[in-house]
Each structure stands twice: as C-alpha cells, then as structure tokens.
Structure 1
Amino acid sequence: MIMVETDDRLQGEQDRPRELPARIDIPDIRGEMVYLRPATQQDLEKMDTIDAYVNASGLTGKDRVAERAAVHAWVLRSEAWANGTDAGSGIDDPEQRRTIAWSLMTTTDDCESETVDAQSATEFLGMIFLIDIDGWARSARIQVILGKDYRGRGYSRDAMPRVMTYGFAEPPEGLGLHRIWVAVPEKNTRSYSVYQSLGFVPSGVSRHALWDNRLGKYQDLNVLDTLDDEFDPVRAMDAFGMHVITSNPGMEKALSQHEHTLAIRKQQLLAESGAVMEPDAQGDTTDKAGIGERMRSDSERIAQDAVESENTWPYNSAERNTSKKAWWRTLGHDRMKRRAHTDADDQ
C-alpha cells in the first residue's frame, strides 16, 4: 500500500507530541508459541547459557563480544525506562533513544498445557528488542537474538509482528511509532526473506558497513523498513499460519483495519469485474443489471478471491486446517532431532 500524505495527515503529524514518557509500562505479549515478558538483568546469564551470541557476525554483523555488550546495555536501558530512571551510565542520551527488551519464553517439550502463558512458559529462548526508539522521528529498530538451538524454528515469526503491532499502536496502548526498521548483513539471506514476508520493504544498502572475519572481507548491510499505514499484522501472521490474539496491545484496532482493507479490496475487485453492487433506497443490495442470482454468485467468488489474495500461507490447505501451533512444534522438534543426530555423528 502506498502512503498518501494528505493535508489532514500532515497536520496531525505536526500537532502530535514527540516526547517519549519518562517512564513506561512494558506489557507482556502473548504469541502462539512464545510468551514475551520484560527482560531483566537476571536473564543476561541465561543468554550465555543458551549460546545466544554464537555466529553473531553472520546474523547481525557484530562480533560476539560487541553483541553481548550491546544486549547488556539494552536490558539496562529497558529496565531503567520501566523504572523511570537513567541507565546508570552517568551520561544522559541527548536524543533520548530508549530501548525495550523482552525475554522470549516457551513451554518445555514435556509440558502438557497447549497454552503458552505466564505460568506454562518456563523455557528461555532469547530476547527481542525495540532499539533506538526515537520519539521525534517516531522510529525504532527491531532485533531478535535467539539461543543457538532455537533458531530456525518459527519463534521470530511468531514474536516480531506482535511486538511491531505494539510499537505502531497509539499511546497509551503502544508507542505510536511511524516506522520500524531492521538491519541485515548481506549474507544473512534467511533473515532477509523472513523480514520481507513480515511486510518489510528494502530501503537501502550501507556498502561495506561490516567486517566478516570468517570470510576475511567487508560485507554490505541491508536496511528494510515498514511504516504504520503499510504494516498489516494480520496478514503478516497469516502468512505463516499464526492466530491473531486480540488481548495483545494494538491488536483489536489492527484487526479492524485489516477487515476494512479487505472490504475495500472486495469492492475494487467487484468494480473491476463489472459486478458492482449498490444499496437501494431501503439499504438492500441489488445489482445494476438486474441479473441478481448470477451477480451474487460472482460476488461471492470475487469476495473469496479477495480473502484468498490476502492469504499467503505457503503450505497446503490440509496443513492449514490442523493446529498451527502443533505444526510449528513438529517443525521445531524435527529439527532438534536432526541436530541431535548430527551432533552424535560428529562425536
């Protein structure tokens, strides 16, 4: 969707406050496979335990030491903002670039509960961050850092659109951001494709911005972003078969906007097909050509096409009709089994 800068929108942007609050209540966020709670300093040791900084240069472009130091700083900043204090560095940030850090939790393999919630989510996976939150530009960067054994199992796809929905939601429910962006090393093609599937758009390249010590050469840093009126969390979650959870911050409004967009798309398809339906004086829908039954049949088909055009679920309908959570868990368990066999063969 292309944003049109109307006079009303620009006036609204000029009138809105651009100062971040001195203190913030970081919400818990529920996913289908993960549960997000505010990260604490006690979680930092767990990041070491799960080998969260392995291959940091390949995933984020930082070396392992720098990545670990950054995560420690982000968690301290997040805690400080939640407490309404500074981060304890003794140096105030003149741009007031804040950070929010969540710990990613899931249920253990032997957990009998099908619900991932604050009680059942006891296994620590890693962290997700909104970094460099800029109130003036209403912009932030998002980043996920997972333990070595939890990568490639769908957890990022579950967590990211829900955090982004919170980021784009208007205060006090969310941060009221206008833009969320990511930075991806050129060789991290897997994350690049995941971000695109979530609605991020390539917006630029920083040439030779990173040093790859393993390959002994510089590599480019790709930047992707999405804007508040472009991002559709419902479509992003549906692309990978995840359910909408309306209790999460910003989700009810996002769902309403998604349905509104679908309704507009349906009308566009109807108009393009010539099957334009208009209300009569009593508000009932009739067709202009007077061939009601055929037109209604066409309308139903076109409406279904509109819905299906929004569905980017990449697997077959049989898989889609099964438990989506069960599908992701099976995927993750299979990969863990293959990894275990590989490790055993290497010994």
Structure 2
Amino acid sequence: MCQNAEPPLDEPVSRELPERITIPPIRGEMVHLRPAAVEDLPRMDELGAYCGASRITGKDGQAERAVVHAWVRRSVAWSEGRPSSELGVGDPEERRTIAWALLTDAGHDDDGVVDAGSTDNVIGMIFLIDIDGWSRSARIQVVLGKDYRGRGYSRDAMPRVMTFGFAPEPAGLGLHRIWVGVPEKNTRSISVYQSLGFVPSGTSRDALWDAENGKYQDLIVMDTLADEYDPIRSLDAFGMHVLEDNPGVKEALSMREHSVSIRKHSVVVDKAQADAGRPQEAAPEASPAPAPARRGVDADDAAAPEAVATADATGETGGAPAASAGYREPERIDAGPEASADADEESNWPYGASERKPSKNAWWRILGRGRKRNTEGM
C-alpha cells in the first residue's frame, strides 16, 4: 500500500475537513446571515428565487431549485455532524457545503414597508459550495428572490462570507481560493465579481444553453486567492464598511497590518540603499514626463478609449465580458482629498485607494439610477 509523503513543516498535519462545523452568523449593513434551515426552502419558492435562473447561472429553474435543496440539506447535515447522505454509499466526490439564509429587517426600497415580511425577512441564500479541504478551494454563489436582485444585497453579503472563508482556522475555513462560474451574457454579475477582486481564469466553451436565444454560451470562470483578497477594499468598492465583530475580520485586519508593515519597511530599506549609492554629481536633465493615462486605463492602452467598458443609456454595463481581451472596468470616481498618498501601497487588491469613492457615488448605484430592475444579474 502506498504511503502518504510527510507534509512540509509549514503545512498543517491534515487537510481533512472536520466532521462537524459550527456555521457562524454574519452581520452586514443591509442584510444579516444565519445558517439556512430546511424550513427556509419553501420561502425560496415564495420569493421566486429560481425565476430567470438561465440568465443568471445558466441552469433552468427546476435544476436550480434541486441544487439549492441539496446544498441546504448538506449544510444542515454538516452542522449536525451527520453524513450528507445516509443511504449507505453516497457520492465519493461529494464535497461539503455551507448555506446561509439572507435576511433583512428594514425597508431598503423607500416604500415604507419592511422587505420580505411574508417570508420572515428571508430574501435569498448565499452558499460556499464544493468546499475542498485538500486544495483549500470553494465556490461561492448567491440566490436572491426575484424582487431583491440588483439592489445591493449580494454586494453586502459576499465580501463578508469571503472574509470568513479566507480567514485562518479556527476563525474561518482557511481557504486558499474562492471561485465563481458565470454565464458570458451576465455582464452585470461579472462586473460585481471584478469589483470583489475576482479575475477571469478560464472559459468553458459552450458549457451552457441559452434558452432565450436558442444557442450555447460560454461559462466564464473567475477566482481570487487568499493573498490577493482584501476585505477592506472589497467592501469599500461598494460603499460598505468593515464590521469587526464578524467572523474572520480581526484575523484579516491583523494579517493586513502585518503585510503593510513589511511593505513599508521594505520601502524604507530600498530608499536608504538607493540614497547611499547615489552619485553626488548633478543629475542629467530630465526628459518631459509623458501625459498620464486616464484612470482605469493602462498606460499602454491610453490611446484606445474604446476598450473601456461604459454604461449605456439604460444603465446596463457595456463592453465585452471580463474574459474578453479588450474588457476594462467602468471608469472609477475619485475619492477626493481624503485618499492618502501612500494608501495604494497598503493592499494587494487590484484597485488602488485613489480609485475609491464615497458611498453615495458608488459606481453600481450610479449605473442603477433610473433603470427598471429586472431579473438578470445579482
């Protein structure tokens, strides 16, 4: 029988997931999350959570409903320390899942009525699926009621769930990678994932059937890694704030502070070494500085503004999907004088602090103004 190699000294002794997990509640500004229960499943039908599934996830409504039922039952079984299948054999590749119910206790649409009162404030669910302890990887997905899409709820919940997922054990799951799969036509969700730090990593060609247009479409795979994800910037991108009592946040802030300290020390050392070796003679005449590129456009692409994704008159995002060669994020709004000069050095997240914006000017709110909500996107 083959013997497993000894793990490196800096690796955990085991990569096996625990037999039982405590699913923590998570608090947001617009929603709060609690472990999903089997009793929540009929509420998802009431919410019309599976309407338009083919446009959002590429599945038909019946298949979407079936997998949501399976995910919730697997999550409940894991939290109770039971195997997700108790029929004797089960699926050897079946991986663990965590399901939270998304609840809101306020009226966020200015109609004077508390949202989702008929479903005990449940407006949808959020999942970490296919949790793989060996590769420290999981997939994230949000399923919202049809009347609660495009209103910012998933933007509040997703960064907080990802922070828990990436946080080291025992505060979090200690994941290395979180990924998503999104149909190529769902450009709105692609834009949201980009603002969370996800980057396109591959394309599954003709993986989905587009029933509306009677043709196949690609599935865009996007992911982000633990050393790339910044929970502060990901919330800031949507005008949200860090809530330090949430699971994994203190560990994330501590790791961020440590990395910032290392980077600042490195900058000081490099500057001291450069000053020590700098010759005393007069420096040569400086050549004129090139004109700065527009914000959101690489310097090499500054002459090609047509490559920048924009919003059309209806408020929908334009341009090609994220996996296309010419895709660019919508042009960002300056944060103003409050952005510090060296803040860009304090994060590995793809967007710099100089591209942050006040909550009222968040780009997703600007795109949503004057547009009738539909069932596409998140």
TM-score between the two structures when normalised by the length of structure 1 = 0.74
Aligned counterparts of 1:139 and 1:318: Cα–Cα separation in 2 = 31
CA contact (8 A) 2:171 2:251 kept: no
Match of 1:303 among 326, 342, 359: 342
Matched residue type, 2:69: H
| Cα offset, 1:313, TM superposition | 6.1
Residue aligned with 2:172, SS: coil
- Alpha carbons 1:107, 1:122 under 8 Å: kept: no
Structure-2 separation of matches of 1:204 and 1:95: 23
* 1:210–1:23 distance in 2 versus 1, CA, 3 Å: same
Equivalences for residues 1-347 of structure 1 within 5 A: 11-13=9-11, 15-88=12-85, 90=87, 91-109=89-107, 123-264=121-262, 266=264, 302-303=341-342, 306=345, 310-311=352-353, 315=357, 317=358, 319=360
Change (3 A) 1:96 1:305: closer
Structure having the higher helix fraction is: 1
The verdict on how the C-alpha distance between 1:163 and 1:305 changes in structure 2, with shifts beyond 3 A counting, is closer
Residue 275 to residue 301, structure 1, CA distance change in 2 (3 Å): farther
Q: Deviations over 1:83-123 (max 9, x none)?
A: 11123462423235000000001113299xxxxxxxxx952
Distance in 1 (CA, whole Å) between partners of 2:108 and 2:137 is 40
Give SS of 1:214's match. Answer: coil
Q: Deviations over 1:180-199 (max 9, x none)?
A: 11001100111111111101
The 2-side partners of 1:158 and 1:313 are apart by: 19
Change (3 A) 1:167 1:269: same
Q: Distance in 2 between matches of 1:162 and 1:110?
A: 20
> C-alpha deviations, 1:8-48, integer Å up to 9, x for none?
x96523x4411111111100011111100000111111111
Unpaired runs of 5+ residues, structure 2, are 1-6, 110-118, 281-338
Q: What whole-Å deviation, never above 9, does each CA across 1:159-209 have from its counterpart, x for those lacking one?
A: 111111111122222111111110011001111111111011111000000
Deviation digits for residues 206-258 of structure 1, max 9, x if unmatched?
00001111110000001011111111111111111211111111101111222
Segments of structure 1 that go 5 or more residues without pairing to the other structure are 1-8, 112-120, 278-288, 290-299, 343-347
- 1:4 is matched with none
Q: Distance in 2 between matches of 1:92 and 1:153?
A: 39
Alpha-carbon distance between aligned partners in 2 of 1:248 and 1:17, rounded to the nearest angstrom: 26
Residue aligning to 1:3: none
**Structure 1: distance between partners of 2:44 and 2:91:** 26
Amino acid at match of 1:103: A
Aligned equivalents of 1:234, 1:182: Cα separation in 2:
20
- Percent sequence identity is 59
Supply the distance in 1 between the matched residues of 2:270 and 2:186 (Cα, whole angstroms).
41
Tell me, in whole angstroms, the C-alpha distance in 1 between the residues paired with 2:72 and 2:354: 35
Secondary structure of 2:106's counterpart equals coil
CA RMSD of aligned residues (A): 3.5
CA distance in 2, matches of 1:229, 1:93: 32
Q: How far apart in 1 are the matches of 2:263 and 2:72?
A: 42
Once residues 108 and 235 of structure 2 are traced to their aligned partners in structure 1, the CA distance between those partners, rounded to angstroms, is 26
Structure 2 residue matching 1:72: 3-state secondary structure:
helix
Do the aligned residues in 1 keep the contact of 2:239 with 2:359 (CA within 8 Å)? no
CA distance in 2, matches of 1:206, 1:318: 35
Q: Partner letter of residue 303 of structure 1?
A: D
Q: Is the Cα contact below 8 Å between 1:234 and 1:254 reproduced in 2?
A: no
Shift of 1:262: 3.8
2:274 and 2:344 map into 1 onto residues whose CA distance is 15
Q: Which amino acid aligns with 1:92?
A: G
Pair 303,263 (structure 1): closer, same or farther in 2 beyond 3 Å: farther
Check whether the contact 2:343–2:352 (CA below 8 A) recurs between aligned residues: no
Aligned-partner SS, 1:94: coil
Aligned residues: 294
Q: How far off its partner does 1:259 sit?
A: 3.0
CA distance in 1, matches of 2:251, 2:274: 28
Native 8 Å contact 1:238 1:313 kept in 2: no
SS at match of 1:12: coil
User: Secondary structure of the residue that 2:10 maps to in structure 1?
Assistant: helix
